[in-house]
Amino acid sequence: MNRPLATAGPAEPERVFVGVGANLGDARAAVGHARVAVGALPGTRVVAASSCWRTAPVDASGPDFFNAVLELRTTLAPRELLEALLAIEREHGRERPYRNAPRTLDLDLLLYGGRCIDEPGLVVPHPRMHLRAFVLDPLAEIAPGLAHPVLGPLAVWRERITDQPIERLT
């Protein structure tokens, strides 16, 4: 008796956090455009978006950055999501002439569920997220109590970086 092959249903969406930043051109508008572009990715929806925050560059140069964090639910695999984020950056004119160059748009895959991934070109959790107020403050706004899968509660890490001024914009 021939039976049709069973097919897997759609993958369960993962809880994912993406950092958004820009400091060239109309940087604040770029942060808003990124929210729309990320939410339009296949199998992806934005379930929360932080306020926009202004910070001085950290380990970078140029004008102040505008930053935010998006919380997503996505069925895209981590590598697929990263490639899609990089494509959105390119569509917004992102160039990489040197490490930490000023940018028209920067999209960082911060957390992908509770997964730890260390592959060429893809490291999750983001290796410096716990050292950046421009990541931790927006994360705390939309996901209070969030924990890093290895380092634990992110609020503890925020207490350690009081030297990074940050301004929440209305």
CB neighbours of residue 12 within 10 Å: 8
User: Which residues have C-beta within 8 Å of that of residue 85, sequence separation ≥ 6?
Assistant: 18, 38, 107, 108, 109
Catalytic-labelled residue, pool 54, 106, 132, 158: 106
Element (H or E) spanning 21, and its range?
Answer: strand 14-22
Catalytic-labelled residue, pool 54, 103, 132, 158: 103
108 is catalytic: yes
103 is catalytic: yes
106 is catalytic: yes
Catalytic-labelled residue, pool 54, 108, 132, 137: 108
Catalytic-labelled residue, pool 45, 64, 90, 94: 94
Rg (CA), the chain: 17
26 is catalytic: no
Torsion of CA 52, 54, 60, 61, to 10 degrees: 120
Helices (DSSP H) in the chain: which residue ranges?
A: 27-39, 78-91, 133-142, 154-158
**Which residues are known to be catalytic?**
94, 103, 106, 108
